[in-house]
Amino acid sequence: MMPLLTTKGLSRSFGGLRAVDGVDFALMPGEIRAVIGPNGAGKTTFVSLVSGRIQPSSGMIVFDGADITNLPAYARVRLGVAYTFQITSVFANLSAYDNVALPVQRTLTDGRSKGAVHTGVMAALERTGLADRADMPAGQLSYGHQRLLEVAMGLALKPRLLILDEPTQGLADSEIDNFIELVREIADSATVLLIEHNMPVVMRLADRITVFNAGRILAEGTPEQIRANAAVQDAYLGTTHG
Amino acid sequence: MKDASPAKPYALHLGVIALLFGLSFVLPEYHHGLLARIMVLAVFAMGYNLLFGYVGLLSLGHAMFFSAGLYGAGLAVIHLGWSVPAAFAAGLACGALLALVIGLLALRTSGVAFMIVTMMFAQVFYLVILYFAAWTGGDQGMVVPQPMRVLVLGSTSLDLTNPTVRYMSALALFSIVLLISLAIVRSGYGRVLVAIRENEERTKMLGYDTFSNKLAAVVISGSICAASGAAYALLFGYVGSSFASVQYSILPLLWVLLGGAATTLGPLIGTLFMYYVIDVASGYTSAYLLIVGIALILLVLFFPRGILGSIRQRWLGWLP
């Protein structure tokens, strides 16, 4: 099977700092992949390069067989690469409905979905349990609901690759269980690339885990392999849990 | 912005148009003429509001789009002897083309730099008008001769200098632009414009090419302002360089802020309010600008979102 996403020698420097340093990465269609690593390991920079929010210093990104290295972010979204933000950035002054209507009408314009805006919006809101709050300004939703709205917006883009940057940050334990269910549902129709600090969530969700350290891939494997990996324990688990 | 029932906003806007139509038959001559002028300038304010209110781009150069319409139409009539509809179209085309070029250049900047760049382009436009005084009349301006200001439609000819014809022409333009604005802000495109105002980076990550969307907004805004300028030349017969000065870039900003940015009827309310405050105040004292200033300060204190903006916030959430 051909990977959905591959990067070859992907690098990005900020001044003298090599935030992402020659990363070769492959992601198979349909998998849930977690990216973990200590703070400053380059995880967010890496997914920002994939989504097109920042440009690489060198290297190449291939999505579904096509070189997308030089495509602007909005064009990648239209190909099916959706990114949900680490820091919640819903449109606070717009209603939850309008927040989701924006991605829905985009996919309609691109011909990637059919039907009326209203149907698509309500479907995404119902899937995330926000349907009864459709008319509320997004800024007045609770933090957990704003995170869910963020996911609803990602879903409404009909992504083939959904990048979730620390989606459970700030969620209560009860909300996290629902969230894991939601991500599993999403993975039925899309590939999920997840940056996550909450290790129990990672272990429950991920098919495979990629460990970043100092801008490079330190290890990659199933949750069991990663748990048993001595280098990972030194670099990451050791520093946060020891 | 919601997909709620569209009946109320449309009823309100059609009601305002009907009210303005009715006023034509009851207003005394002076106020009749003033209101015709206010409607044409409210179109200018609506064009400005589309860019400033909805997209959040503060331009200090919109006088150039108004005067592109003004001179585009005026020069076509005076030097080329074009008919009224052709001259109006010429003014509109000049504004649209100018807006496209200025938009391509100025949208490379944002924020304060955008304000400065648009203002500089407008100053260049103003100085170009003064430089080509042989054609434009320089700082004296030009008067469009009365015989040229006749709109021939088949067998009927309408004299645009006749007060009723002038009022109805102004109302027709105002109504068309008002309904276009309403349709734009209630459309998916309007939603994207507001999203760009609220968070451009996020809007890009939803798959929108924000540069193209902003460029389209600049062109629509510039075209509406040019339509206002072209109508001004043809209805009131004066084409002057003062309309290209920086004062006429700031006035639409004031009108929109007063009436309520990002409200469809705010530009009319703001223009109306400002004209009448000046009108009433100058009847009492020669220091009328002092009164205007105090009125502005009071408004900002008590209606920080403009008249309609505050009404929407406090009482009528459905106002478009």
The residue ranges of every structural domain in chain B are 7-245
- Name the residue of chain B whose CA is nearest to A80's CA: B207
Beta carbons of A94 and B194 less than 8 Å apart: yes
Q: How far B210 CA lies from chain A's nearest CA (Å)?
A: 9
B318 in contact with A, Cβ within 8 Å: no
Task: Output the pLDDT for position B95.
Answer: 97
Average pLDDT value over all residues in chain A:
90
Q: What is the pTM of this model?
A: 0.90
Hey, which residues does A143 pair with through a beta bridge?
none
Q: How confident is the model at residue A237 (pLDDT cuts 50, 70, 90)?
A: low
> In degrees to the nearest 10, what's the CA dihedral of A147, B186, B303, B279?
160
Residue-wise pLDDT tens digits, A68-123? 999 999 999 999 999 988 777 899 999 999 999 999 999 998 877 778 899 999 99
Q: How confident is the model at residue A236 (pLDDT cuts 50, 70, 90)?
A: low
Q: How far A131 CA lies from chain B's nearest CA (Å)?
A: 14
Task: Output the pLDDT for position B91.
Answer: 97
- How many inter-chain contacts (A to B, CB under 8 Å) are there? 73
Hey, which residues does B42 pair with through a beta bridge?
none
Cα distances (Å, whole numbers) of residue A230 to A21, A233, A235, A236: 22, 5, 9, 10
Sign of the CA dihedral with B214 first, then B220, B223, and B227 last: negative
Residue-wise pLDDT tens digits, B191-216? 999 999 999 999 999 999 999 999 99
Hey, which residues does A193 pair with through a beta bridge?
A33, A163
Average pLDDT value over all residues in chain B:
92
Beta carbons of A74 and B204 less than 8 Å apart: yes
d(CA B3, CA A94): 13
Residue-wise pLDDT tens digits, B214-223? 999 999 999 9
Beta carbons of A105 and B191 less than 8 Å apart: yes
Residue-wise pLDDT tens digits, B9-56? 889 999 999 999 999 999 999 999 999 999 999 999 999 999 999 999
d(CA A89, CA B205): 11
d(CA B5, CA A61): 46
Residue-wise pLDDT tens digits, B224-246? 999 999 999 999 999 999 999 99
Beta carbons of A89 and B192 less than 8 Å apart: no
Average of pLDDT values for A18-30? 94
The answer to whether residue B4 scores a pLDDT higher than 70 is no
- Local structure of residue A137 (DSSP, 8 states): B
The answer to whether residue A229 scores a pLDDT higher than 60 is yes
Beta carbons of B2 and A97 less than 8 Å apart: yes
Q: How far A35 CA lies from chain B's nearest CA (Å)?
A: 21
Q: How confident is the model at residue B314 (pLDDT cuts 50, 70, 90)?
A: confident
d(CA B206, CA B200): 10
B212 in contact with A, Cβ within 8 Å: no
Q: Which domains occur in chain A, in start order? A: 5-80+159-241 (3.40.50.300), 90-156 (no CATH)
Residue-wise pLDDT tens digits, B149-197? 888 887 888 888 899 999 999 999 999 999 999 999 999 999 999 999 9
Q: How far A233 CA lies from chain B's nearest CA (Å)?
A: 35
Task: Output the pLDDT for position A24.
Answer: 96
> What's the burial of B97, exposed, middle or buried (CB within 10 Å: 0-12/13-18/19+)?
middle
The answer to whether residue B310 scores a pLDDT higher than 90 is no
Cite the beta strand spans of chain B per DSSP E: 142-143, 150-153, 156-159, 238-239
Cβ contacts of A8 within 8 Å, gap of 6 or more: A24, A59, A60, A62
- Name the residue of chain A whose CA is nearest to B204's CA: A74
* Least CB–CB distance from B199: residue in A89, A103, A107: A89
Of all residues in chain A, the percent with pLDDT exceeding 70 is: 97
* Least CB–CB distance from B199: residue in A72, A91, A106: A91
The interface predicted TM-score of the complex, written ipTM, equals 0.86
Q: How confident is the model at residue A239 (pLDDT cuts 50, 70, 90)?
A: low
